[in-house]
A and B are shown apart, each in its own frame.
Chain A
Amino acid sequence: MRVEVCDVRFGYGASGPEVLHGVSLTAEPGTLHGVIGPNGSGKSTLLRVIGGVANPASGCVLLGGQDIGSLSPRKAAQLVAAVGASEAVIFPFSVEETVLMGRSPHLRFLASETFLDVAKAHEAMERTGVAPLAGRRITALSSGERQRVLIARALAQEPRVLLLDEPTAHLDVNFQVEIMELVQALAHESGITTIAVLHDLNLAGRYCDRITMLGSGQVAACGSPGEVLTEEHLLDVYGVRAIVGRRPELDRPAVFVISGSPRHGKPDEHRGGGVSSGVDDIE
């Protein structure tokens, strides 16, 4: 299902400052579309607007030509699923119970899950490799395991569009690669339109089919990874001087951050997207 974002403007609250100043993008079915940009550029907000959780002040989001604003939350959830930047889990639901919750938008009021729903939940768990964890408490899982459980829950919704907000945040390199390979495979094999906000430029460059780069609430660049991840764009939008090379194993850009540009100052904040993909995130 094609996702079209048409000239969306958005601000938090009636009087709050505008966060998105007319953003447009198109994500095609079966592709992994990355959204990158410095902190505060509006990436996560854009994702919330696409998911129908935040209503734009003007402009619209079309899912297969249908305005998401016109859909009820239940109908919208039958089309779009999301894995948010980790919300704290405080109740000890089991992994199976958690994934089954993804069936909710397809269930009527008061209806219980049928065997079909359980089967679909198990299929989703197989797909993300968390089936062996079915009986475990979600509160007792590692970050990497929990992220895969949440992706399984999103898949159980049988969405046409999947939104991911920094799916690799707080994960070590091995789990980052694992999650990105899973997400890429889901997009390419299941035909789900996948839009992922990513902060790691090298992961974005390696796995995304197309990338939209946001800078202070506007689209700064859009296109293939090679077209977007350029030295000029990184200097303009992130304010860092970088060398963009080629990955040795495939024709994809690789970003090496050299230093913060003097005219922007404070380079340290942005170095996470640099050479040491992932290493910065170990806490």
Chain B
Amino acid sequence: MPRSRAHRTRIILLVVAMLAVVAWAASAGTAGIPTSLALRIVISRIPLVGRALARSLALLTARLPGSLSDSWDPSMLESAEIIVLEVRLPRIVLGLLVGAGLAATGASFQGLFRNPLADPYIIGASSGAALGASIGILSAGRAGLAALSLSSPSSYIPIFAFIGAVITVIFVYALSTVDGHMPTDTFLLAGVVVGSFVWAVVSFLMVTAGEDLPKVVMWLMGSLSAKSWAHVRMTAPYVLVGTAALTALGRDFNLAACGEESARYMGLDVERFKKVVIALGSLITAAAVSSSGLIGFVGLVVPHIARMMIGPDHRSLIPVSALGGAVFMVAADTLARVIIPPREVPVGVITAMAGAPFFFYLLRLRKKG
């Protein structure tokens, strides 16, 4: 639990940052919807208090000069509502979920493996998802699953990716378990080895992909573009339940971070703990990756920033990482939308371009400190 006042202030600032980023993301874009209107539409959908809040916001902004919302005719209002509620909002919510899930998993894996370089992809979930998605994209194109691919082009690929990720992690786990024990070093090595094997298969598939190649490449780069509430519904349970469960295990993470044997002497059933964390982390990662592709650096950088903000206690580190990941993800995605309009940059490119130098800066900072 955050003990000091400084920690509490930082968490409040993070929540404020999240609200600000969501507001920015809801109003930024090429459709020319004014900020006040976009916010009103979003706020009106908050359960219970939403209507009243939106009305009071409308009264407030109506007095301001330059407010366009009242001069809009009903049909324009309706299309604005559709853009905000069906295009932008699902994308924002998915961004919050994916960012939160990846960062919480990253913080958990760094603690479990006692390795500051661990991230959600280290145990093979990413390569497995990539393989699943490639197979999905290619088989749809090749076998002429036209009905399937035309009706909902992005609805079945997540399922392929999810299955690919889960199977790969199970394979890595089985490979590194001997006599019911799973040494974490062996597990990490197995994850890397299986990962590179699976990546080779993905590359092979890409060579044979032909005209579907751009689709595969775009998927691999990771993007939150063109996401619907269906994606949100698929991802939300894993991320919300998983992150809550990881947070609940916070004290056990602290023990595990002291070393396996020390943790065992302090009463932690280490083998069971490892299984639970790997299962939770891979499900979260699989859900995040399958709906949005491979988005790097969120799961690696954000936990480090969170650790600098509030210290290494996992009971607050994991939820704060989740919060920070959500902010980082939506900010990066909004930047990806507005940086070279009307084109969109894959958000994975933004997170890597922003994340890598920032991580380097943090490392330098820490060396000097």
Chain A: residues with CB nearer than 8 A to chain B?
13-14, 48, 51, 53, 72-78, 80-82, 84, 87-94, 97-98, 101-102, 104-105, 107, 109-110, 112, 153-154, 157, 163
Instruction: Decide: A112 and B1 in contact? CB cutoff 8 A.
Output: yes
Contact code string B283-312 (vs A, CB < 8 Å = 1, else 0): 000000000000000000000000100011
- Contacts A87-B259, A92-B312, A101-B255; A80 near B265 (Cβ below 8 A): yes
Alpha-carbon distance A84/B311, docked complex (angstroms) = 25
For B195-229 the 0/1 string (1 means CB < 8 A from A) is 00000000000000000000000000000000000
Q: Which residues of B contact A94 (CB under 8 A)?
A: 311
Known A53-B261, A87-B259, A97-B313: A104·B268 in contact at CB below 8 Å: yes
Question: Which chain A residues border B149 with CB–CB below 8 Å?
Answer: none
Min CB distance B308 to A, Å, is 10
The residue that A73 contacts in the complex, of B251, B258, B269, B313, with Cβ under 8 A, is B269
Q: Given the known A-B contacts A90-B116, A104-B255, are A72 and B269 also in contact in the complex, defined by CB atoms under 8 Å? A: yes
Residues of A within 8 A of B177 (CB): none
Which chain B residues border A48 with CB–CB below 8 Å?
Answer: 261
Report the Cα distance A9→B269, complex, angstroms.
23
Cβ distance A47 to chain B, nearest Cβ, rounded Å: 10
A53 and B258 form a contact (CB under 8 A): no
Q: In the complex the two chains form, is B116's CB within 8 Å of A73's CB? A: no
Closest A residue to B114 using CB positions:
A90
Instruction: State how many angstroms separate the Cβ of B320 from the closest Cβ of chain A.
Output: 15
Contacts of B259 in A (CB 8 A): 84, 87-88
Whether B267 contacts A84 by the Cβ 8 Å rule is no
A107 touches B251 (CB 8 A): yes
From B250, which residue of chain A is reached at the shortest CB distance?
A110
Contacts of B269 in A (CB 8 A): 72-74
Does any Cβ of A come within 8 Å of B233's Cβ?
Answer: no
A72–B268 Cα distance when bound, in Å, is: 9
A residues less than 8 Å from B179 (CB atoms): 13-14
Note all chain B residues with C-beta closer than 8 A to A73.
264, 267-270
B28 to chain A, nearest CB (A): 38
Q: Which residue of A lies closest to B315 (CB)?
A: A112
A211 to B269, CA, bound (A): 31
Tell me if B266 is interfacial: C-beta within 8 Å of chain A: yes
State the CA gap A229–B309 with chains docked (Å): 54
Chain B residues, CB < 8 A from A77: 265-267
* Interface pair B248/A87, CB less than 8 Å apart: no
Quick check: A87 and B266 within 8 Å, CB to CB?
Answer: no
Query: Of B258, B267, B268, B312, which contacts A78 at CB under 8 A?
Result: B267
Q: Which residue of B lies closest to A106 (CB)?
A: B267
Could you tell me the distance between the alpha carbons of A92 and B248 in the complex, rounded to whole angstroms?
A: 21
Minimum Cβ distance to chain B for residue A102 (Å) = 7
Q: Is B254 an interface residue (CB 8 A)?
A: yes
Name B254's contact: one of A72, A81, A101, A154 (CB within 8 Å): A101
A84 touches B268 (CB 8 A): no
Report 24 cross-chain contacts, Cβ distance below 8 Å, ordered by A residue.
A51-B265, A53-B261, A72-B269, A73-B267, A74-B267, A75-B267, A81-B266, A87-B262, A90-B116, A90-B257, A91-B111, A91-B114, A93-B312, A97-B312, A97-B313, A98-B258, A101-B258, A104-B267, A109-B248, A110-B248, A112-B1, A153-B266, A154-B265, A157-B266
> Smallest CB-CB separation from A82: which chain B residue?
B265
Which of B248, B262, B265 gathers the greatest number of chain A CB atoms within 10 Å? B265
Q: Are A91 and B265 in contact (CB under 8 A)?
A: no
A87 and B255 in contact, given A74-B267, A76-B267, A77-B266 (Cβ under 8 angstroms): no
Residue of A nearest to B269 (CB): A73
A157 vs B267: C-alpha distance when bound (angstroms): 10
Q: Which residue of B lies closest to A81 (CB)?
A: B265
* Chain A residues within an 8 Å CB radius of B116: 90
Q: Which B residues lie within 8 Å of A78 (CB)?
A: 267
CB distance from A104 to the nearest CB of B (A): 5
For the complex, what is the distance from the CA of A251 to the CA of B311, rounded to whole Å? 50
Are A92 and B262 neighbours in the complex by a CB distance under 8 Å?
A: no
**Chain B residue nearest to A76 in the complex (CB):** B267
**Inter-chain contact A93/B254, CB cutoff 8 Å:** yes
Question: Nearest CB to that of A104 among chain B residues?
Answer: B266
Tell me the B241-282 residues at the A interface (CB within 8 Å).
Answer: 248, 251, 254-255, 257-259, 261-262, 264-270
Tell me whether A53 and B255 are in contact (CB under 8 A).
Answer: no
How long is the Cα–Cα vector from A167 to B288 in the complex, in angstroms?
A: 46
Known contacts A97-B312, A101-B251, A109-B248; can you find 11 more A-B pairs with CB under 8 A?
Answer: A13-B178, A53-B265, A82-B261, A82-B262, A87-B262, A91-B111, A93-B254, A97-B311, A98-B258, A104-B266, A107-B251
Q: Which residues of A contact B313 (CB under 8 A)?
A: 93, 97
**In the bound complex, how far is the Cα of B270 from the Cα of A107, in angstroms?**
17
B313, closest chain A residue (CB)? A97
Chain B residues contacting A154 (CB-CB under 8 Å) are 265
Name the A residues within 8 Å of B1 (CB-CB).
Answer: 112
Residue of B nearest to A102 (CB): B266
Q: For residue B309, give the distance in angstroms from its CB to the closest CB of chain A.
A: 13
A87: B residues at CB distance < 8 A: 258-259, 261-262
| Chain B residues whose CB sits within 8 angstroms of the CB of A14 once the complex forms | 179
Q: How far is the CB of B173 from chain A (nearest CB, A)?
A: 19
Inter-chain CA distance A82–B258, complex, in Å, is 13
In whole Å, how far is B292's beta carbon from the nearest beta carbon of chain A?
Answer: 30
- Tell me which residues across on chain B come within 8 A of A88, comparing CB atoms: 114, 259
The CA-CA distance from A129 to B92 in the complex, in Å, is: 52
| Nearest CB of chain A from residue B305's CB, rounded to whole Å | 15
Contacts of A13 in B (CB 8 A): 178-179
Q: Given the complex of chains A and B, what is the CA–CA distance between A110 and B111 in angstroms?
A: 18
